[in-house]
C-alpha cells in the first residue's frame, strides 16, 4: 500500500487535518491492516506525527494480541483433538472435535487440506504424532 493508493478518488478519504508525514506513516506497508481504522481515528484532528505513530502502535499491539489469543485458542483446539486417542481416529472425528472445541477455528476446508493433502500419505496415528510435534513447536514460539 502507498499514499496514492490509500487516498485515491475511489476511497473518498481526505488528507485534510493530517500532516503529509503522518499520511505516509499511516499508509506504510506495515500498517496496511490497521490503516483505515486508525485513519478514521485521526482524520481532521490535526494530530502530530508522534500522536499518529502512537495510535498506530497501540492499534498494532491490539491486533497482535488478538492474533496471539486466536493462535492459542486454535492450538488448544488442535491439541484437544489430537488427545482424543492414540488409536486409529478418522479425519471426520478430528474435524468434529476441533470444530466443537473452538469456534475461532471453524475452518474445515483448511483442516481437510492439512489432513488429506499435506498428511495424505500417512496413517492416522502418524498424522496425530506429526500434529503433536507441530503443537510443541508452536508452544515454543515457532521454528
**How confident is the model over 13-68, as pLDDT tens digits?**
889 889 999 999 999 999 988 999 999 999 989 999 999 999 999 988 888 887 77
Mean pLDDT of 106-135: 74
**Given the C-alpha cell 506504510, which residue does it identify?**
28
pLDDT band at 143 (very low <50, low <70, confident <90, very high): low
Cα–Cα distance measured from residue 121 to residue 143, given in angstroms and rounded to the nearest whole number:
24
Amino acid at each position: 500500500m502507498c499514499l496514492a493508493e490509500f487516498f485515491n478518488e475511489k476511497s473518498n478519504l481526505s488528507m485534510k487535518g493530517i500532516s503529509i508525514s503522518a499520511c505516509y506513516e499511516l499508509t506504510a506497508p506495515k500498517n496496511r491492516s490497521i490503516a483505515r481504522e486508525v485513519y478514521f481515528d485521526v482524520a481532521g484532528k490535526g494530530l502530530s506525527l508522534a500522536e499518529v505513530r502512537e495510535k498506530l502502535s497501540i492499534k498494532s499491539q491490539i491486533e497482535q494480541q488478538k492474533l496471539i489469543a486466536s493462535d492459542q485458542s486454535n492450538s488448544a483446539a488442535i491439541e484437544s483433538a489430537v488427545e482424543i486417542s492414540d488409536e486409529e481416529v478418522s479425519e471426520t472425528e478430528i474435524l468434529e472435535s476441533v470444530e466443537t472445541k473452538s469456534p475461532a477455528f471453524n475452518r474445515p476446508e483448511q483442516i481437510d487440506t492439512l489432513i488429506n493433502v499435506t498428511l495424505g500419505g500417512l496413517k492416522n496415528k502418524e498424522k496425530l504424532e506429526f500434529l503433536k510435534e507441530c503443537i510443541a513447536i508452536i508452544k515454543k514460539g515457532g521454528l
